[in-house]
Chains A and B, each alone.
Chain A
Amino acid sequence: QKEVEQNSGPLSVPEGAIASLNCTYSDRGSQSFFWYRQYSGKSPELIMFIYSNGDKEDGRFTAQLNKASQYVSLLIRDSQPSDSATYLCAVNAGYSSASKIIFGSGTRLSIRP
C-alpha cells in the first residue's frame, strides 16, 4: 500500500465549478497534512496545510481532514483556468517531530473555459 494515495486524473472541471481533490494516507501517526500545487515544469508551492479534523478555509480553497478515515481533501471553489495544475497531497510520516514529508503522486486538474 502506498503511503499517500491520490487519483492521478486528469480531473476536468468547468470554469466556475467546484473542483474536489482527494487523498488517503496510511500512517495513523501522521499529524500534518499539506496541499501543494505544481505547474508543469515548475517547482511545487504550498497552498494549504491542515492539522486538525474538520475544515480549514483560505479564500477559494478549503482543506478537509478526517483522521479516523485517514482522508484529506481539497476543494477549490469558483475554479479558474489558472487553477489548472497538478495538486500534490503531502503528509508527515511518523510520530517523530523530526519526520520526513511524503508526497502522493498528484492529481492533474484541468479547468475548461
Chain B
Amino acid sequence: NAGVMQNPRHLVRRRGQEARLRCSPMKGHSHVYWYRQLPEEGLKFMVYLQKENIIDESGMPKERFSAEFPKEGPSILRIQQVVRGDSAAYFCASSRTGDGNTGELFFGEGSRLTVL
C-alpha cells in the first residue's frame, strides 16, 4: 500500500519561472493538505482540498499560488513567477476522513523547491 507520493522531490527554478508540485494521496484518501516548511521552522498551513473542491485556502498567498485536486489525477500546487522567498519544503498530507476532529494526516516526503 503506497503512501503519499510527492514529486518532484527536488525542484530548482529561476526567478520568474513556474513550479508545479504534485501529490498523490494514499489509496482510499480523498482529502489533501499542503503545508510549507522553511528551514528550522514548523509547518505552515496553505490549503486543504477534497476532490474537485477547495475547502480552505486561507494559508495560501492570494497571488501566484494556486492548488487543485481534480477528480482524476494528483493534487497540484502551482507557484507562478517564483521568487527566492518561495524556496522551501512543500509537504503534502492526506487524510481518509477529512474530518479535522479525527483525521490522522499521512505525509509525503516533501518537495524541496530552490529558487535561484
Stretch in contact with the other chain, from B42-50, B68-76, B79-87: B42-50
* Given A43-B109, A88-B42, A103-B45, residue A49 in contact with residue B104 (CB < 8 A): yes
Q: Which of A46, A98, A99, A103 is in CB contact (< 8 Å) with B42? A: A103
**Majority SS at the chain B contact face:** loop
Contact B100 A100 (CB under 8 A): yes
Assess whether A43 is in contact with B91, with CB atoms less than 8 Å apart: yes
A31 to B103, CA, bound (A): 12
The count of residues in chain B whose C-beta lies closer than 8 Å to any C-beta of chain A is: 25
In the complex, the answer to whether A100 meets B33 with C-beta atoms within 8 Å is yes
The answer to whether A99 touches B100 (Cβ under 8 A) is: yes
Q: Are A92 and B100 in contact (CB under 8 A)?
A: yes
How many angstroms between the C-alpha atoms of A102 and B105 in the bound complex? 11
A15 vs B107: C-alpha distance when bound (angstroms): 29
Q: Which of B98, B99, B107 contacts A44 (CB 8 A)?
A: B107
The 3 closest A-B CB pairs, nearest first, are A99-B100, A92-B100, A105-B42
Which A residues are within 8 Å of any B CB, using their own CB?
Answer: 6, 31-32, 34, 36, 42-46, 49, 51, 88, 90, 92-94, 96-106
